[in-house]
Structure formats: C-alpha cells, structure tokens
Amino acid sequence: MPHKCTQCGREFEDGSTKILKGCPSCGGKKFLYIREAERHD
C-alpha cells in the first residue's frame, strides 16, 4: 500500500525506501497507509 506523510501530506509509492529515513520534504517520520481509491495522482 502507498504511504502518506502525516505532517506534509506527501505520498510515496508502495515499497519506497525514502520513508525509512523520514520524509524528504519535511523530515517527518510518521506515515499512514492509504488506499488506492483515496490516492491523489
């Protein structure tokens, strides 16, 4: 499932290694799973 940063709202692809180090935009380390239907392309 894709992930979304809880601070800035940036979305990441499924399996992205970027979320392991924190969000590159804001440095946040908390992410939510998002459903494909809720995703904004």
Domain ranges in the chain are 3-38
Segment 9-26, tens digit of pLDDT = 999 988 888 888 999 999
Is the pLDDT assigned to residue 34 strictly greater than 80? yes
For residue 17, the model assigns a pLDDT of 85
For residue 40, the model assigns a pLDDT of 65
Q: Which two tokens stand for residue 41?
A: 């392309």
Residue 4: other Cβ atoms inside 10 A: 20
Alpha-carbon span 37 to 24, nearest angstrom: 24
For residue 23, the model assigns a pLDDT of 94
> Does pTM surpass 0.85?
no
